[in-house]
Amino acid sequence: MVEEVFSIELPVGERLVIKKNRVMGREPSSKRLAIVTGIHGDEFEGQYICYEVARRIEEEKDQLKGTVDIYPALNPLGLDIADRKIPKLNMDMNRMFPGKRNGTTMERVAAAIVDDISGADMCLDVHASDIFVKEIPQVRVSEEFADQLLPYARLLNTDMVWTNASATVHESTLTHSMNMLGVPSMVVEMGVGTRIDRGYGKQVVEGIFHLMKKMEMWDGAIGEIQYPAISTDGEVEFIRSRITGVFLPAIEHNHYVRKGDNLGKIVDPLEGKILEEIRAEKSGLVFTLREYPFVREGCLLARILTGIGEE
């Protein structure tokens, strides 16, 4: 059942509408899972996940116990033109929560979303990366809530769970706001901006049904899942460029590298010179890899999960 979460007239004569699909099974008031995506308008991985979750539930509706709320487009203006931020305002919607009921238009939108999700038993906020780097499927949780969330994060069929130090977590994100309000919430991230990787999507969707089984919301069959590597900020090595040029990777995404391995090079296309050789400073799994070739000093090239052995 499609419902309006929030609606308001815009100065340009159009209407901003936030919608959700409420899928109710047996005993709809027993448990509620909220799946949200589209906070950033250049991230489309969540669109496929929303589609697949809704499709699979509809095929076996009698197996659902409780309610699944699906919010595919929290920033519909951004999604319309693949703009990461809110168009014209140049503001990141994921820095506006929990919002204000009597604030600006977008603060009111954020407050309405928070009010609508409040009371859920779990919230998954699905993201892709931006257009610059590609991410393997992962769950991100704040260490402040890790004890509560890790048993659920392990079930989402991702390659890793990244536990972030509380000091690095933005308090104005949706997931932090919902956690503070008592709704267990996690970020799921995968892929690269403006694209859909169906393989990643199906992988995470299988995890979502495992999560629903754990929450006693799904009685249907579920497939096999993998269990993720668990990391902390201290186990992640950031590789950044030291110079401006074009990055040519020498490795594959989602592969193990050893200390000293060649990760790629930054070249000068004008003079045909190699400006910088990029080598791994520690051994581990490459879970983030630069997709956008042009780089400047300080640009992220890769992230390596250290402290794990090669499988």
> Which residues partner with 163 through β-bridges?
141, 232
- Rounded to whole angstroms, the Cα distance separating 306 from 48 reads 31
pLDDT of the residue at 23 = 97
Coil, strand, or helix at residue 203? Answer: helix
Tell me the DSSP string of 203-232.
HHHHHHHHHHHHTT-B-S--------EEEE
Q: Are 210 and 56 in contact (CB under 8 A)?
A: no
pLDDT at 275 over 70: yes
pLDDT of the residue at 115 = 98
For the entire predicted model, the pTM comes to 0.95
pLDDT at 232 over 60: yes
What is the pLDDT confidence band of residue 137, given thresholds at 50, 70 and 90? Answer: very high
pLDDT of the residue at 276 = 97
68-97: pLDDT as tens digits: 999 999 999 999 999 999 998 899 999 999
Preceding amide of 72 cis, omega within 30: no
Once rounded to an integer, what is the mean pLDDT over residues 228-239?
87
Once rounded to an integer, what is the mean pLDDT over residues 149-161?
97
pLDDT of the residue at 165 = 76
